[in-house]
Amino acid sequence: MLSLEWGDSRLPELLRNSKMTQAELARRIGVNRQFIYKVKVKERFFSLEQAILVAHVLNCSAHDLYEYKIHSNR
């Protein structure tokens, strides 16, 4: 069986590289700035739809939004 271990959000780096603010990203994907902040500090996570939209806006893959490890529990 596989399990997923969530690491840190890469959103701060991705926003910095895109020269975009949290507020601008929030506006473009239809959420509030506080939600983006909570994603950055791992209090919330993007839904699949939101992750795809964020990846499109930031010109990256949805896989790039978080650090993660996949473990095999055999």
Q: For residue 50, what is the domain's CATH number? A: 1.10.260.40
Distance CA 56, CA 28 (A): 10
pTM of the model: 0.87
* Residue labelled with tokens 């909570």: 38
What's the total number of domains in the chain? 1
Q: How many other C-beta atoms lie within 10 A of the C-beta of residue 67?
A: 11
Tell me the pLDDT tens digit for each residue of 36-57.
Answer: 999 999 899 999 999 999 999 9
| Domain assignment of residue 15, given as a range | 2-72
Q: Number of helices and strands (H, E) in the chain?
A: 4, 2
Position 74 scores a pLDDT of: 72
Residues of the chain below pLDDT 50: none
Question: Which amino acid is present at 54?
Answer: V
Name which of 24, 49, 22 is nearest 36 in CA terms.
22
